[in-house]
Amino acid sequence: VYQLGDLANLSGLDWNDLLRLPSLFRLRAAIYSQEFRDAISTITGCGKLSGIKTDMLINTYRKGCHLLTHDDVIGLRRVSFILYMPEPGKPWKAQYGGALRLFPLVVPNVPKTDYECKFVPQFNQMAFFTVQPGLLFHDVEEVREDHRVPSSNH
């Protein structure tokens, strides 16, 4: 996985630099907004999201990239999301790999070795879920084609 940057760092840019990244700045503003946080809170039932400790990264997955099975427990993170942005007009195919896969549990903290379901990336599709330590394990399957699948993780 190639990490391209933490979008929280946009706050440190001066206005001239932000003008060079208008779409990215608007996307971040929308995702950081109270309206978006309230919607995610309502849908997931995770409780109020303050926005004080919001993080968002951009990752690019190329051929051979993958993420091992994990539960996204990082600090006080309560919700994770992935916004898929493969090239518009070029549908992502399951055989390319890069799908988000969810794993059932043997017992808490021990995921089964075989996934239960998977989500193939599609342009402008968002997957999100509450972070539940030891209860919600997932991975990103290996990308088998040399297409880029950027995603934003929160």
pLDDT tens digits along 89-124: 888 899 999 999 999 999 999 999 999 999 999 988
In angstroms, rounded to a whole number, what is the distance separating the alpha carbons of residues 82 and 103? 17
What is the pTM (predicted TM-score) of this model? Answer: 0.81
In angstroms, rounded to a whole number, what is the distance separating the alpha carbons of residues 48 and 52? 11
Task: Record the tokens describing residue 93, joined without a space.
Answer: 């195919």
| Amino acid (one-letter) located at 26 | R
Q: Write down the pLDDT at residue 9.
A: 67
Which run of H or of E encompasses 128? strand 126-130
Q: Write down the pLDDT at residue 24.
A: 81
CATH number for position 139: 2.60.120.620
- Residue (of 87, 73, 80, 69) closest to 124 by Cα position: 87
Domain around 71? 2-153
Q: What b/e readout covers 90-100, taking b as 16+ CB neighbours within 10 angstroms?
A: eebeeebbbbb
Neighbours of 68 (CB within 10 A): 6
Q: Write down the pLDDT at residue 7.
A: 66
Number of compact structural domains in the chain: 1
Residue segments in the chain with a per-residue pLDDT below the cut of 70: 1-11, 147-154
